[in-house]
Amino acid sequence: MAKIGKQYKAAFEKVDRAKMYEPREALELAKSLSFTKFDGTVEVHLRTGLDPRQADQQVRDVVVLPHGLGKTVRVLVFAQGEAAQIARDGGADIVADDDEWISKIQGGFTDFDVAISTPDMMGKAGRLGRVLGPRGLMPNPKAGTVVQAQDLPRVIQESKAGRVEFRLDKTANIHAPIGKVSFELDKLYGNLSSLMDAVRKAKPAGAKGNYIRRVTITTTMGPGIRVDLNVAQAMKVVD
């Protein structure tokens, strides 16, 4: 741990704490300061002016990142009958179509990254709240993960391609990954642009004052880099 501490300190000292970096500059710096032996994740952390206790100030939505997340995404689908076959044909890694799968998940099985359900299976999926809820895996209509059978192939493929759910947490922050350190700078920038656009569009009706107060970019175990708020909020979606 001492070695990691020294590496973090060295990276931290290369960040100008008084500076607000432009998005592309912040991403480039974050990439250069990553010191993990594995391909770290680039993350965006948004500090909002929302009150998480208010029902009309909630944020929960999804964005499909144009350049993906750079990782293999395992998708589980709760479906039965014809919908189960549609899910298999659509590329689902696991189709939970019987009580045996429900019991397995109740026992702690969570070897998947995204869970999707058809409406008729939510009764069974809902029993798994204690397992799936804390891990952010519970299918939810607001997140677009409770869908009709005919929409399963699209949602499955979006999930595998870089579909990211973001939500307001209890501390009024929003966190989301936008790719890997190994990504080309332009791809990270494109993903960041898409995320910022989606967050802007998800602004709740009850928002008061400044919706977004701070934008910070980090990598796995790396230091936070503050992004110029005005520039970040004006970012346009790019290919």
Q: Would you state the pLDDT for residue 80?
A: 96
- Quick check: is 2 in a domain? no
Average pLDDT of span 158-183: 93
The percent of residues above 70 in pLDDT, for the chain, comes to 97
Q: Does 2 have pLDDT greater than 60?
A: no
- Quick check: is 139 in a domain? yes
User: Based on the domain organization, do 99 and 146 belong to the same domain?
Assistant: yes
Q: Does 1 have pLDDT greater than 60?
A: no
Total structural domains within the chain: 2
Average pLDDT value for the chain: 93
- Quick check: is 221 in a domain? yes
Spatial distance between the Cα atoms of 130 and 19, rounded to a whole number of angstroms:
43
- Quick check: is 9 in a domain? no
Q: Does 57 have pLDDT greater than 80?
A: yes
Average pLDDT of span 139-167: 92
Q: Does 211 have pLDDT greater than 50?
A: yes
- Quick check: is 197 in a domain? yes
Average pLDDT of span 193-199: 95
**Of 55, 64, 69, 50, nearest in space to 155 by CA:** 64
User: Based on the domain organization, do 107 and 215 belong to the same domain?
Assistant: no
Q: Which domain holds residue 31?
A: 16-69+163-233
**Which spans in 82-202 are helix H?**
82-89, 99-106, 122-125, 129-132, 152-161, 185-201
Q: Which of 129, 160, 191 is the last residue of a domain?
A: 160
Q: Which of 132, 160, 188 is the last residue of a domain?
A: 160
SS3 state of residue 222? coil
**Of 162, 185, 198, 180, nearest in space to 66 by CA:** 162
User: Based on the domain organization, do 88 and 154 belong to the same domain?
Assistant: yes
User: Based on the domain organization, do 84 and 146 belong to the same domain?
Assistant: yes
- Quick check: is 239 in a domain? no
Spatial distance between the Cα atoms of 105 and 100, rounded to a whole number of angstroms:
9
The order of strands in the sheet holding 41-48 is 173-180, 41-48, 212-219, 225-227
User: Based on the domain organization, do 60 and 173 belong to the same domain?
Assistant: yes
**Host H or E run for residue 76:** strand 75-78
User: Based on the domain organization, do 64 and 167 belong to the same domain?
Assistant: yes
Q: HSE on the CB side for 93, CA within 13 Å? A: 14
26's tokens: 């912040």
Q: Does 88 have pLDDT greater than 90?
A: yes
Q: Which of 160, 193, 212 is the last residue of a domain?
A: 160
User: Based on the domain organization, do 102 and 39 belong to the same domain?
Assistant: no
User: Based on the domain organization, do 155 and 83 belong to the same domain?
Assistant: yes
**What CATH number has the domain bearing residue 181?**
3.30.190.20
Average pLDDT of span 66-87: 94
Q: Would you state the pLDDT for residue 239?
A: 61
SS3 state of residue 182? coil
Tens of pLDDT, residue by residue over 95-144, are: 999 999 999 999 999 999 999 999 999 999 999 999 999 888 999 998 88
User: Based on the domain organization, do 61 and 171 belong to the same domain?
Assistant: yes
**What CATH number has the domain bearing residue 111?**
3.40.50.790
**CB 63, CB 164: distance < 8 Å:** yes
Spatial distance between the Cα atoms of 151 and 159, rounded to a whole number of angstroms:
12
User: Based on the domain organization, do 156 and 168 belong to the same domain?
Assistant: no
Q: Would you state the pLDDT for residue 237?
A: 81
- Quick check: is 61 in a domain? yes
- pTM confidence score: 0.81
